[in-house]
Amino acid sequence: MCGIIGYVGSRPAEEILLSGLRKLEYRGYDSAGLSLIGDGEIRSVRAVGNLDRLEAALAGDAAGATATATLARPATIGIGHTRWATHGRVSEANAHPHYDSANRVHVVVNGIVENYMALRERLVSEGASFSSETDAEVIAHLIASAYRDDLAGTVARVLTELDGYFAFVAMTLDEPDVLVGARRECPLVVGRGADESFIASAVPAFLAHTRSVQLVENGEIVVLRAGEVEIRDGAGETMLREIVEVDWDEETAEKGGYETFMLKEIHEQADAVAETISDRTARGDGVDLADPLCFDEALLDGVQRVVFVACGTAYHAGLMGRYAIEDWAGLPVEVDVASEYRYRNPIVGPGDLVVGISQSGETADTLGAMRVARERGARVIALTNVMGSQATRECDGVLYTRAGLEIGVAATKTFVAQLALVYLLALRLAALRGSLSAARIGELVAAMRQLPQLIDELLDGLDARVDAIAEWCWQADFFLYIGRHAGVPIALEGALKLKEISYVSTDAYAAGEMKHGPIAMLDERTPVVAVATSSPVLAKVINNIDEVRARGAKVIAITTAGDDTVAPHVEDTIAVPATEPMLEPLLAVIPLQLLAYRIAMRRALNPDQPRNLAKTVTVE
Ligand code: F6R
C-alpha cells in the first residue's frame, strides 16, 4: 500500500521526508519519490526500487532515476511517497510525486481515482500533457487547471470531480508555504509540532518528531503551514479536532495501533475490497476488467470452461469462483490444488481459461500448474496481488487484487480481495455470454459496491463479540467447520486459518458429507462452526446442524442479519449484514478470521508468524 508524507516547517525537509518514508517501508513499495519547494523552484526526485536508490538519486548518482532543479538552500516544505503499483507498471515515470504540465503543482496520492480515464481525456483535450500511466496524475492537472490563487479552495472544488477511494497531498509553487491534503476513505493523519506540521498516511512517518496527532476524517481537507493546521469539511467549514497524544512505540505505530499485523490487516479488508473493485465497477452498471497494460478482455471471448489452480487460501478463492461462475455465467468450472494439477495429466487446451490465483505470484506449484496449462494451449491468466511477480510474467493477462502488502503470514485481506475479483470475473463472463440480464448484473454490481461499507459495519464491535465466543471454546483440541454451497470455501478457509495460527486440529467439510465419516469425530467437547448465511440450501444446513448437535457438539453459526431460523438450533451466532446470497460468504469469512485470531491470542501464540509457515512458498 502506498505511503504519503508531507512536511512544512523550518528544518530541512529532505531529511525529514526521507526518514518518514523509511518508516513507511513496512507497507511495501516498488518505487519512491519526493518534491521540495525552495527559492521559487521545485526539485523533484523519483526512483524505482528501494529508498537507497532514491537517496542515491538525491545525491545525483543513480541510473534510472530523475532529479530536477537543484535548490540553492535546503527546502523546508515538501512531499514524499512510496508507491505500490496498481495502475501503471513499476517505472520512474509512474512513481510519485506527479505534476502538471507547467510543473507548478505536485501531488502524492494513495488509492484510486475511478473516473481518471474520462478526466484524463478531458484534460488532454484542454492541452494538458501527461507523463505517466497513473490515475493519480489527473489530480495534479485538475488542480493546475482550476487554480487561481487559493490551493485549499481549489482542492475543495477538484474533490467534487473525483470518484473513488483516495488520499492525497498537494503543493504549488504559487503558495510555497502551504500543503493541502484531502481524503476519501484512504487514511491521512496530521502531526503537530511547535513550528512545523506533518501529514502522512500513517503515524510512524512522523513519530520521531511529534506524538501530537490529529485525525483527518473522510471527505475533509486539511491545510498545513509551519506550526498551523486547519481542517475543513467538504463545504469549507473549519472543523475543531482534538489533538491526541499517542504513546505508541515504533512497532505499535507500524501496526497502526493494532496488537499485530494480522489484526490490522483484518481491519483493512474494506479498503482491500474497495480498491480491487472500485474502478472496475465504476462505469455504468457492468464490470470492466480491461487494463491496457495487462488485461485484454478478448481473453474472455469464447471461453468454454474455466479452471482455477492455486494453493491454500488462494485455492479457496478458486472454489468460490466455481460457485459464482457456474451460477452467473453458466460455464463449467474446474478447481484444483496446483500441486496436484501440475502432475496429473490435465485435459486442458484452447477454449479453456486457466486462472492461477496467488497473492504473492511466486508460489512454485501455482506457477508450475499455469505453465502446464499454457504449454497445452490454454489461455492463462494470473490473479495476484504483486505487480511484477513471476506469475505476471508467465501468463497471457493479469488481474490484480489491490490489497496492499500483507505482512501477517496468514492470508486475510488478500483473500477477500481475491473473492471480490473472482466475483467480478464471474460477472464479466456472465455479461459476455448473456447468461444474466444487464439489469441483474447491475443489481449484483451495486451489491458489490456496497461490500466495503458492509465490511466496516460488520467489523464494528466484532472482535469483542468473537472473543466472547473464543472464551468458551479456545481450549478445545478439535474443531469441525461445515457449510454448503458457497459456504463450503468459507468453512475450509475458516478451518485453515485456525489450524495455521492456533495449531488446533480442524477439519472442514461440505455439510452433506458429514454423515459419510466426520460425524464419528463429534462429541460434547467439539465446537462446530457452521457457515449458515443465506443460501438456497440453508434449510439443509440447519438439518446438518441438528445432526451435529444430536451428537453433543456445540455449534457456532455465522448467520445473516435478520434471519431467525438458525439461532434456535445453535449455541452462538454471529450475524453478517444481509446482501446477495453469493456475496455473503465474503463477509462470513471475517468472523472466522477473528475467531482463529482470538483463539491464537488466548493460546499465547503470535499469529503474525505461525510456526513452520512462510509467506511465500517458492519451492514445491
Ligand atoms: C494461508 C496462506 C497460504 C497461501 C498459499 C498460497 O493463510 O497464506 O495457504 O494462501 O501458500 O500462497 P499464494 O497466494 O502466495 O500463492
479 Cα–ligand 1 center, Å? 21
- Name the average pLDDT for the chain: 93
pLDDT tens by residue, 31-45: 999 999 998 899 999
Residue 65 neighbours by CB distance under 10 Å = 22
- On the question of pLDDT at 65 being above 60, the answer is no
Place of cell 526526485: 45
pLDDT score of 88: 79
Q: Which of 309, 315, 617, 618 to mutate to test the pocket of ligand 1 (most atoms within 8 A of CB)?
A: 617
Q: What is the pLDDT of residue 62?
A: 59
The residue type found at 229 is V
Split at pLDDT 50, 70, 90, the class of 66 is low
Q: Does pLDDT of 61 surpass 70?
A: no
Does the pLDDT value for residue 73 go beyond 80?
no
Q: What is the mean pLDDT of residues 297-319?
A: 97
Task: Specify the higher pLDDT residue, 614 or 189.
Answer: 189
User: Could you give the residue numbers annotated as active site?
Assistant: 2, 615
What is the pLDDT averaged over residues 289-313?
Answer: 95
- State yes or no: pLDDT of 520 exceeds 70: yes
Question: Beta-carbon neighbour count of residue 73 at 10 Å?
Answer: 8
Residue of higher predicted confidence among 558 and 69: 558
The answer on pLDDT for 69 being more than 70 is no
- Containing 543, the helix (H) or strand (E) segment is helix 538-550
CB 406 within 8 A of CB 384: no
pLDDT at 610: 86
In tens, the pLDDT along 191-231 reads 999 999 999 998 889 989 999 999 898 899 999 999 999 99
pLDDT at 293: 83
Q: What is the pLDDT of residue 283?
A: 78
Q: Which atom of ligand 1 is nearest to the CA of 359?
A: 14
Cα 314 to middle of ligand 1, angstroms: 6
When pLDDT is cut at 50, 70 and 90, the band that residue 85 belongs to is: confident
Q: State which ligand 1 atom lies nearest to the alpha carbon of 412.
A: 7
Q: Which domains can be identified in the chain, with CATH numbers?
A: 3-247 (3.60.20.10), 254-456 (3.40.50.10490), 461-620 (3.40.50.10490)
Residues with Cβ within 8 Å of 63's Cβ and at least 6 positions away in sequence, in order, are: none
Residue 523 gets which letter from DSSP?
A: -
DSSP 113-152: ETTHHHHHHHHHHTT----SS-STHHHHHHHHHH-SS-HH
In which order are the strands placed within the sheet that holds 397-400? 333-337, 305-310, 352-358, 379-384, 397-400
Q: Is 522 exposed, middle or buried (0-12, 13-18, 19+ CB in 10 A)?
A: buried
Q: Is 311 in the pocket of ligand 1 (CB under 6 A)?
A: yes
More confident residue, 79 or 619: 79
In 261-314, beta strands by DSSP E: 305-310
Choose among 365, 424, 421: nearest CA to 391. 365
Q: What is the distance between the alpha carbons of residues 593 and 558, in angstroms, rounded to a whole number? A: 12
pLDDT of 64 above 60:
no
Q: How far is 322 from 397, CA to CA, in rounded Å? A: 20
pLDDT tens digits for 170-187? Answer: 999 999 999 999 999 788
Nearest to 354, CA basis, from 368, 325, 334: 334
Atom 10 of ligand 1: nearest residue by CA position = 313
Q: What pLDDT is stored for residue 63 in this prediction?
A: 57
Best of 359, 401, 500, 619 to mutate for ligand 1, by most ligand atoms within 8 A of CB?
Answer: 359
- Is the shortest distance between the CB of 608 and ligand 1 below 6 Å? no
More confident: 254 or 532 = 532
The percent of residues above 70 in pLDDT, for the chain, comes to 98
Angle at which helix 13-23 crosses helix 51-58, to 10 degrees, equals: 170
Which amino acid makes up residue 134?
T
Which tens digit of pLDDT belongs to each residue from 547-573? Answer: 999 999 999 999 999 999 999 999 999
Average pLDDT estimate for 302-331: 98
Q: Is 617 in the pocket of ligand 1 (CB under 6 A)?
A: yes
Measured in Å, residue 557 CA sits from the centre of ligand 1 at: 26
For residue 582, how many other CB atoms are within 10 A of its CB? 20
